[in-house]
Amino acid sequence: MRADRLVSLVLLLRQRGRMTAPALARELEVSTRTVLRDVEALSAAGVPVYAERGRHGGFALLPGFRTELTGLNHEEALALLTAGSGRGEQVFGLGSALASAMRKVVDALPEDHRSTANDAARRFLVEPETDLLSRRTVTDEVSRPAMSEIRRAVLAGHKLRLHYTATDQPPRWRTVDPIGLVTVRDRGYLLAMRAGADRTYRLSRVLAAEELPEPAERPSRVDLDAAWRERCARFLSTDHLPVLVRVRPERREDLLATAVAVRAAEPDPDGWLRLEATFQDLWHAEWALWQLGTDAEALTPDPLRTALRDRAAAMATRYGAPT
């Protein structure tokens, strides 16, 4: 852990030049005292870092000093920098690790490519917080200590204790065998087994977690993509309402934002899209499709069409021309 921090400190000074101890502490998420100890350790190891006194002072490296890191070509570095420029740093509590990795990526580039790659990455925006309709995208908040415990248990193959809040239930502790972590639309999930049965836990509902020393009872190999598809299919087949709907292409994203799931989009001859959507129940489907107005049409089931027709008739009566 400290070795990674020392490398990050050197890279920060290489890429930004002179930096104060408080500025380094903010970047590395440590105390100023820790930064001072790290600088002493680097100097003792022969790294040419020196202090400049005065109002505009700070720490800096002797000009020309370069760490020995493996190189990347321009396209590889650009891909990594672009991927790290979105909100992916919030996934699975790896924000600090991502920031450190990005510094190493930049440092691995040849001198003449470094500024070019940084500038190019700034011209790509991945998953902004708002869309064109100024709707703010909601990202799950996950406790960092809990996420660290979960991540360690998943990678080490150890059992895991979770203090978890299920829907409409008080929080309680449970012991699970973790299989893997999945993120979908900025929501994180833990795939696990409990008493031999498949379980899926939403990470934002984990209040606390504890990695246990006992080995997890889980398959040695796992296809997370297949496991996720199976669990999605099982989830959607239980107490949910399937709806066949037509929608204008420009309103497809609005439908995606309200449905539990949307599958099998096919174009109709008139340019509309025909979709298989899943909703929680009849009331949810009626509410969601009503938001789309005449830009969507429910084809099945019949009770949904009837509910929408009755609602439209009631609205027409309410707002009809005065007699």
Output b/e per residue, 150-175; b: 16+ Cβ within 10 A: bbebbeeebbbbbbbeeeeeeeeeee
Strands 187-194 vs 197-202: parallel, antiparallel or unpaired: antiparallel
pLDDT by position in tens, the chain (length 323): 566 677 788 888 887 888 898 989 888 888 888 888 888 888 877 778 888 877 777 888 887 665 544 445 556 555 656 555 555 445 566 666 666 666 666 665 556 656 666 666 566 655 666 665 555 655 667 788 888 899 889 988 999 999 999 877 889 999 999 999 888 766 788 999 998 888 989 888 999 999 999 999 988 888 888 888 888 777 766 668 889 999 999 998 888 888 888 877 788 899 999 999 888 889 999 999 999 999 999 999 999 999 999 999 999 988 887 66
177 within 8 A of 159, measured Cβ to Cβ:
yes
CA 58 from centre of chain: 35
Output b/e per residue, 50-83; b: 16+ Cβ within 10 A: eeeeeeeebbbbeeeeeeeeeebeeeebbebbbe
Strands 197-202 vs 206-215: parallel, antiparallel or unpaired: unpaired
Distance of alpha carbon 95 from alpha carbon 147, whole angstroms: 12
Distance of alpha carbon 175 from alpha carbon 116, whole angstroms: 49
What pLDDT, on a 0 to 100 scale, did the predictor assign at position 104?
64
pTM of the model: 0.52
What pLDDT, on a 0 to 100 scale, did the predictor assign at position 306?
95
Amino acid, single-letter form, for residue 64: G
105 within 8 A of 154, measured Cβ to Cβ:
no
